Amino acid sequence: MKKRFTVKRTALYLTCFLIILGIIFVLLDILDIAEDLRLYWSTAVINTIFISVVAIFTIYFATRSYLQSGSPEILALGGGTLAFGFAIVLYGWLPNSDLNTRFTMYDSGVFIASAVYLAGAIFNMKNLNPIARKSRPNIPGIIIVYSMIILIISVLTWLAYQDIITFLTYTFSVHFSARDVVQVIAAVFCMSTALIYLKKYNALRADIYFWYPLGLILFAAGVIFISRGPLEGRVAWLGRAAEYVSYFYFLMVALSACKQSGENRTVNNKDS
């Protein structure tokens, strides 16, 4: 128990540190202090390792837990993680993609992920037990949800690739664009979902509801920080670091849910 508390406390401190450091970096850029700093690392490789690869494990354990519990929150975890993880793969590796296409891939992944996370929380808002069986596991339902997420992002990417979708590159003013609107809405979705889960954590102290809001808060912070400066700048890299850590937190959610589902199944078998 003491070890678990230490891990949680470290995660909480790390979350606060990344957010505070990101705010400091943004302020330094506003004040024109060393804003020319650039880190020309391979975002495609690093994003794939720390987001898409981690997403594969998260989706696996989330799906496994959902098959045992039928929880919409856990299904949403797998779907949201899939959305951004798949978009990041396209963002980094789709050949001959222009700026509009890359914006569309990234922002569609961010928006769909945030919307799926929020939908899962809303569908299960009144139920305090995250992994108690709500309904019979629906394998075709899982396939449909995951396939639709991949299909929507793929179609949006193709439309942007064909220059049919161009609104994300539209700029309302010098400091305000259509991308800002999409990203702010996604951040609001994530923060709203985090508040729902924080309320449940306060009532239950379940591990799932500890890691889930931390992941959502860092994911939202990462999206906002990345949009605040050049892609190779310190603010953007801090934002990526926040996204990477958030995906490890999502993995912790999936592992915790899978573990709890297994424990519940063992108890139910003994009772029967």
Tell me, what's the pLDDT at 173?
A: 67
Q: What is the model's pLDDT at position 142?
A: 93
For 144-180, how does the pLDDT look when each residue is reduced to its tens digit (9 = 90+)? 999 999 999 999 999 999 989 887 777 776 677 888 8
Backbone angle region of 137, left / alpha / beta, with phi > 0 → left and psi within -120 to 50 → alpha: beta
At 61, list the tokens. Answer: 């354990």
Q: Which residue positions in the chain have pLDDT lower than 50?
A: 1, 267-269, 271-272
How open is the CA angle 152-102-78, to the nearest 5 degrees? 45
pTM greater than 0.75 (yes/no): yes
Tokens of 18: 């990344």
Helix (H, G, I), strand (E, B) or coil at 171: strand
Question: For position 1, what pLDDT does the model report?
Answer: 47
